[in-house]
Structure 1
């Protein structure tokens, strides 16, 4: 396959991946718990508890949501600290990954063979190498964030399964979007590395 096509395909995959990761930062229902619907009308008894990276909410059967924002960016509720302690690490990993990914996209765009900026071929290869490494680092950082969130949620779910007084939260859709997006970012960086390897082979 042509090197330019591989680079364009890698650029598209990584861009879609970063788009999904950015969307998950503002999406609701990172974790969700549902109670009610038994022993009577579900319209009266149903309730949903859900949370995001920035707030936790309660929605009743009338579709009215009551939310409480976390006080600051790095603070969670003291009474639920054992459940949400990894939330700070998840935020940090995602923000670091997105910061790195911003520069990765710039370097890779300049270093691609189909662009007419970036200087001579050797310099463009160097920029593409730096961008690919940054893409891979950012993708791994985001993937680790979603895995950490999922692992902590699963740990709480299974260790407190016998206690009926504790709400059992389940993984929401944003986490799955994030896992797909971070995997796409890593795959895009691998495609960039493949083109760099082929360029080095042809130069020999």
Structure 2
């Protein structure tokens, strides 16, 4: 019962993290910057993995999609690939978790379900690592440009999408680890009975009386015949 509750808790954590990772990919605010001025000229610049936009104080915004993927900067291409991989791994991890948990009726024996649950936990761990790497790489690029005194272009700050991605990655990692460690009791110790049998056999064979010849005990004397003989002798002499 305890393992079943642990698996359900791990599934909830992992699935919640995967949902946060999925919501991070289309989120607009990966990096944000603003130019303060008068009320009319104040503008907010924000960008994500797909486009860059600007919004003025009146609420009017204008967006420009990024050009061809081959013309993108390298870190954006890497972040896209890592986030897509994280979403795919989390999806398959959720499917395997539904099959491998003990509370479901599919998956076969307990050992087969435990193996499937372990694969699910590994998928969630890899999903969290991919998402964590993508968000960290993007944040490193933003911070390096912000603190670089030689960088004269528009400087940005960390957006809300990065924090959501980090939170989802941590949940995926925690859920995957708990799911992997929760299947320990599903596998019995190997050769436990065999070792016990060998130990008992070795004890019997090593005993000094194991190869001794059986001791033949003499049957108890039959006093019935002797009493009759004594009685007969008495009568004979009389």
**TM-score, with structure 1 as normaliser:** 0.87
Structure 1, residues 55-108: CA drift from partner, whole Å, max 9, x if none? 0011112111100012345543xxxx4xxx311100000111111111111111
Higher relative CO (CA 8 A, sep ≥ 6), structure 1 or 2? 1
Query: Structure 1 runs of 4+ off > 6 angstroms?
Result: none
SS at match of 1:26: coil
Distance across 1 between alignment mates of 2:131 and 2:70: 18
Q: 1:9 to 1:73 in 2, by over 3 A?
A: farther
Q: Counterpart of 2:226? A: none
Which ranges in structure 1 are unaligned for 5 or more consecutive residues?
A: none
Say how many residue pairs are matched.
189
Q: Does residue 1:24 correspond to 2:24, yes or no?
A: yes
**If you compute each CA radius of gyration, which structure gives the higher value, 1 or 2?**
2
Which ranges in structure 2 are unaligned for 5 or more consecutive residues?
A: 190-238
Asked if the contact 1:54–1:73 (Cα under 8 Å) also holds between the matched residues in 2, the reply is: no
Distance across 2 between alignment mates of 1:173 and 1:198: 41
Instruction: Within 5 Å, give how 1:1-204 maps onto structure 2.
Output: 2-37=2-37, 42-73=38-69, 75-76=71-72, 81=73, 85-159=74-148, 161=149, 165-200=152-187, 203-204=188-189
RMSD: 1.6
